[in-house]
Amino acid sequence: MAQKGVNVSIFARLDGLSAVVTGASTGIGRAIALELARGGANVVVHFARAQEAAYDVVQHIHAMGRQARALPQDFYDETGLTQFVERAWNEFGQIDLWVNNAGVDLLTGPAAQWDYSRKLAALWQVDVRATILLSKLAGARLQTQGQGAILNIGWDQADCGMEGDSGELFAAAKAAIMGFTRSLAVSLAPQVRVNCIAPGWIRTAWGQQAGPVWQERVLDETPLRRWGEPEDIARLARFLLSDDAAYLTGQVIYANGGAVR
């Protein structure tokens, strides 16, 4: 809660900085892109297929008086990763902040009908391999520039486990990213900070349509007795990418309403 008389607008300012947010057309990625713009950043809005939604994010950012560009890229293609990083840098001349949010939707999209092996391959290609390679490519550029920050997205149940195929698959992918984050932070220090947010139950597309059993489970497992919203993650992302978090690197921050796994 803000104290009386405190100007909260100075919190986590990103003025003059440029950011890339992957998977920024919907859900958590959209919320992060918009929040970084509120903080003063110009934003490259990555999308794979949701072009109209990505352009909507761009328009909202323009309305805030910031610059924004929508860049498409399929992260299944390794050669395209290098090209995407180059194009992102060319948009604003320099990138300062990089957010790896893109991931495969195995719960509500067409991929929900895939078999276990195909889901595993997709998660490896996009959630793990692309995140790692993009981090290495962007990290090298940021390190050469002398400063910057990278933020990855994990999962709060990755290191404790959840039953079912989806729990197994997401745990494997997100635990890999959480471990990678800690090591990359050491590799890129002191010029570049690398952190990870591990969200809990966040009301994205699946959460909005989840049935009564899941709705009750979320409340039971969350001491704050509510779903997290994409904006909850976005505000934390803005803080971690700002100079207000200048002494934080190699951290996995659990944003899950107090759930103890």
Q: Pick the residue with more confidence: 211 or 20?
A: 20
pLDDT tens digits along 146-177: 999 999 999 999 988 889 899 999 999 999 99
Judge whether residue 3 has pLDDT over 60: no
Report residue 9's pLDDT band, with 50, 70 and 90 as the boundaries: low
Distance CA 108, CA 37 (A): 28
DSSP letter (8 states) at residue 12: T
Digit-coded pLDDT (tens) for 193-226 = 999 999 988 987 676 777 788 788 988 888 998 8
The packing angle between helices 78-92 and 131-145, to 10°, is 40
What's the pLDDT score for residue 112?
A: 86
Q: How confident is the model at residue 261 (pLDDT cuts 50, 70, 90)?
A: low
CATH superfamily of 14-255: NAD(P)-binding Rossmann-like Domain (3.40.50.720)
Q: Where are the domains of the chain?
A: 14-255
pLDDT digits (tens, 9 = 90+) for 230-248: 999 999 999 999 999 999 9
Cα separation, 45 vs 91, in Å, equals 11
pLDDT tens for residues 59-110?
Answer: 999 999 999 999 999 999 888 999 999 999 999 999 999 999 999 988 887 8
Q: Which residues, listed in sequence order, are joined to residue 198 by a DSSP beta bridge?
A: 254
Instruction: List the beta bridge partners of residue 71.
Output: 46
Instruction: For the chain, count helices (H), then strands (E).
Output: 9, 7
Q: What is the pLDDT of residue 4?
A: 45
* pTM of this structure: 0.92
Strand-pair partners of 192: 148
Question: How far is Cα 28 from Cα 203, in angstroms, rounded to an integer?
Answer: 9
Tokens, residue 110: 């067409």
Q: Give the bridge partners for 193, in sequence order.
A: 149
CA dist., res. 130 & res. 133, Å (int): 5
- Please tell me the predicted confidence (pLDDT) of residue 128: 97
Locus of tokens 């300012």: 13
pLDDT of the residue at 105: 87
pLDDT in tens, 94-152: 999 999 999 998 888 788 889 999 999 999 999 999 999 999 999 999 999 999 999 99
- Asked if residue 24 lies in contact with residue 72, where contact means CB atoms within 8 angstroms, the answer is no
